[in-house]
Structure 1
Amino acid sequence: MDDNIILMKDIYKSYKMGKQTLPVLNGISIKIKRGEFVAILGPSGSGKSTLMNIIGCIDVADSGEYILAGKNINSRNEDELAFIRNREIGFVFQKFNLLPKFTAVQNVELPLLLRGVKRTDAHERALKILEGVGLSDRANHKPIELSGGQQQRVSIARALIGEPDILLADEPTGNLDSKSSKEIIDLFIKLNNEGHTIILITHDLNVASKAKKVLHIMDGQIYS
């Protein structure tokens, strides 16, 4: 059995800007094994956000091959991509993206409710996940009542509840102070030690250095 959870080969992506074509990814090839903690490090404009969108099945490459958890992504339609995205990948964003009128536990249980899981089962699972990220005592607090670091923990719990193969984090410490940033990175290290595959997109060398492997992206190309 192939232990690569992500296999990309010769990925190209460009965008139309009026009459011009702007190349963004220029022949990217990467392999990420199941259970790895990988940081993709690059400055603004390097192509890392586009690469993240393709890894997360939010966007598709113009050419090249992408195999995610044994599935060939290139040939999938929008509905199939949405299904794969919702089942295989848990997303953690810089701005948390929590629903302000929902409590922490309500935010976390929502993905399971949308899948049709019974509310009592989703609630029980959400409480357990919140406990795992150190927030069992904040389950009934709304986002405005939580610190930035606590909100990001809720976001991580929400990403984990569907038991995805991959946790994909886009600048997850970008809105946090140094203390909260360290706590979030320590949580990612803990989750990785528990077996989760983590891909961290960042421009911060200090954050990237905590991963077990760092891939540098510059001008749409990867340098290990």
Structure 2
Amino acid sequence: MDNKLIYMKDIVKYYKMGKSTLTVLDKVSLEIQEGEFVAVLGPSGSGKSTLMNIIGCIDVANSGEFSLVDEDMMKKNEDQLAYIRNRVLGFIFQRFNLLPKYKAIHNVAFPLLLRGYNKEKAYSRASELLEKVGLGDRMDHKPTELSGGQQQRVSIARALVGDPKILLADEPTGALDSKSGGEIMDLFMQLNDEGNTIVLITHDLQIAQKAHRIIRVKDGKIYA
């Protein structure tokens, strides 16, 4: 099936630092099809997080071509990029980024409440997803009452709640022990088997090897 969700050609990202220029991404090109599970692998400082931020519409490239779900991202303004972030993408972070004072079910429902869903519908969807990630008995627990692996499952349920086209996971096992990390990767593989497109950033080859395809990033360039 040839259905490109992500298309990048000759993407350049640099930062001005006084009189010097730091090039973080140097003519990066890639394509990711619907239904793929891709790992972006590279050491710290390789440019992989900047690449993820551009795919996630958090940062903007200086030049090149970038389309997401057949829309040209290089021509979008900040409001349009924010809309795409909220509707097309689901984010999973290394440190979970959960709301500490709220129960798991509210953390998952929160993006839908922001979109204007009524509380009953938002909580129903959140409950369904917490069951799906194996936390049906932990819905009323706050983040501090959950293990790291359980918090990451809440984070994954939250990322899924808006039915995104693409899941972006930035070092999702980085704050977990190896057992919990392995369980989270098993969950990602299950989600991919169900048709979810996943782009996962990691510095860990063992984690990357769980994906269908590895994109290696070093010194701002992509290597096959």
Secondary structure, counterpart of 1:80 in structure 2: helix
Counterpart in the other structure of 2:191: 191
Where 2:76 maps in the other structure, the secondary structure is coil
TM-score with structure 2 setting the length: 0.99
Distance in 2 (alpha carbons) for counterparts of 1:184 and 1:199: 14
Deviations 1:172-220 (A, max 9, x none): 0000000000000000000000000000000000000000000000011
Query: What does residue range 135-150 of structure 1 map to in structure 2 within 5 Å?
Result: 135-150=135-150
Identify the residue that residue 11 of structure 1 maps to in structure 2: 11
Runs of 4+ in 1 over 3 A off after TM superposition: none
Aligned partner of 1:57 in structure 2 is 57
- Pairing 1:1-224 to 2, within 5 Å after superposition: 3-224=3-224
Shift of 1:2: 5.2
State the distance in 1 between where 2:65 and 2:158 align: 30
C-alpha distance in structure 1 between counterparts of 2:124 and 2:42, whole Å: 39
Amino acid at match of 2:15: Y
| 1:10-62 Cα deviation digits (max 9, x unpaired) | 00000011221101100000000000000000001100010000000001100
Task: Give unmatched runs, 5+ long, in structure 1.
Answer: none
- Paired residue secondary structure (1:97): coil
Name the CA distance, whole Å, in 1 between partners of 2:139 and 2:102. 10
Distance 1:132 1:166 in 2: 18
Q: TM-score, normalised by structure 1?
A: 0.99
* Local SS of the residue matching 1:180: helix
- How far apart are the structure 2 equivalents of 1:93 and 1:112? 19
Identity of aligned residues (%): 65
2:113 match: secondary structure: helix
Q: Offset at 1:142?
A: 0.3
Aligned-partner Cα distance in 2 for 1:16–1:113 = 39
CA distance in structure 2 between the aligned counterparts of 1:73 and 1:112, rounded to whole angstroms: 24
Runs of 5+ unmatched residues, structure 2: none
Q: Which amino acid aligns with 1:132?
A: K
**Distance in 2, Cα, partners of 1:12 & 1:32:** 18
